[in-house]
Amino acid sequence: MEPLQKLVAYKLDKIQRQSMTDHDIARPKLAQVPSNSHPIYDLRTDSVHEIEDPIDTLEGNEPRHTANGFLLASSVPATGTKAPQTPGRRYTIDYFLKPSPNTCEAINHYPTPTAPPIIPPITSACLQPITPSPNPPPTLILETANSSITPSDYTTMTSTGYAGWLTQDALSLSLDLLSQFLSCPTHSILLANAEYARHCHTIGQPSHPASDIKGYEHVLAALTPATHIFLPISDGFFATTSDSADPVGTHWTLLYITRSTEGTHTTLKALSFDSLTGPNPSTDNQNHEASLAVVAGVKKLLSYSPPTQTRRRRRGEPRPPRPKVTTSLKQVPSPSQSRHNAAARKDGRSACGPFVWGMTAFLARAIVEHAEGEKGGEVLDVEAFLDGEFPGRWGAFWDSIETRGRIRGMVLREMRERVERCGSWEWGEYSRFLEGEGVRVGG
């Protein structure tokens, strides 16, 4: 059978190969070599090399063979396997390779991470002084007959801390809206804006002649019918006495003037409210000096005699009596913006503007309610009304952040009402609408 023939041929070939001697195989002649060396035949040079076996003997002094390929290539050390379990001659040698101490394992090469871009540090606005922009944006959010605000002014209404220091325009417009809301002109109450107060400060300087009110006629027209006068005072009034400059101050106070007239004699009684000094009023500050100058300016304006009287006197007519005005100024105990303020922790440092607006609203409402009450026609004695316990009562309910919200709400409501009435919140169209309704605009 064919498989049997193959098996017989395989056995005969195996016996023949085992019986072959060294002279039956053509080999190069070998020289004597040490017992721990092996002759290696190099086909490239047709010569024999003696290579010392690096693994002469292993466990049990049992001789081991090394593969020629690994030895010629000076490969990594190898560990031999155990001896074959079956008897007979071995024709293969197994090795377990170890990593070379001079090499390292392959690693995954990830992309080198890149550092994030360097972002300049953001400096807190509380650490920097507030400097008004030399070129404010022309866009107006809201405008009245006497004042207007831009987006930067509106931001001071909505912010707290140093960024919430009310600008001159922001405080002026908020007082205009408050006067309109309380119908102050009907009750002879003037809520003067900061620009009017600065004009009075300029006129009140000793170097300004009393007979020169050119350019300030509108201020005199506003003061003449008023019995109660509220003016915001800033230490920035001392920055300049020029009408073209925009003063920048650091603190607002409230000046309240009561005007009483008997014949030709007029008495101006002024009270100053300073939320920085609080219940312990002080006269050693610039706001007090500015208040003195403003009171002097109001006195000069109300003492002014028109030039027509001089012409009448030249024609022999009797000289009319000259108005006589006396003034007084008193610093009264005031609530503190840091102690009598529910939002003192967040807004105590810049609450002077909201304090002036809030105190003005409180006193003006009290005057209106007193005039419309049972004692109609009487003038409210504000100094007696504000007793020594008033700062504590004020601190029980006042919150400067809430006051900012009321100011902001009045601005938004005014814009909404204008749109509902005439279709636009811009002052030009709204003023024409009011004139068409017979409402006097300006003043």
User: How much is the pLDDT for 107?
Assistant: 56
How far apart, in Å, are the Cα atoms of 371 and each of 166, 190, 301? Answer: 31, 15, 27
Looking at residue 77, its amino acid is P
User: Tell me, what's the pLDDT at 387?
Assistant: 76
DSSP 35: T
Low-confidence ranges of the chain (pLDDT < 70): 1-8, 11, 15-138, 240-248, 307-322, 374-379, 438-443
Fold of 141-307+321-436: Adenoviral Proteinase; Chain (3.40.395)
Q: Note whether 279 and 387 are within 8 A (CB).
A: no
Specify the pLDDT at position 210: 79
Q: What is the DSSP string of 210-270?
A: TT--TT-HHHHHHHTT-SEEEEEEEGGGGG---TTS----S-EEEEEEEEEEETTEEEEEE
What is the structure's pLDDT at 298? 94
* Domain coordinates in residue numbering, the chain: 35-80, 141-307+321-436
The whole-model pTM stands at: 0.64
Q: What is d(CA 156, CA 176) in angstroms, rounded to the nearest whole number?
A: 17
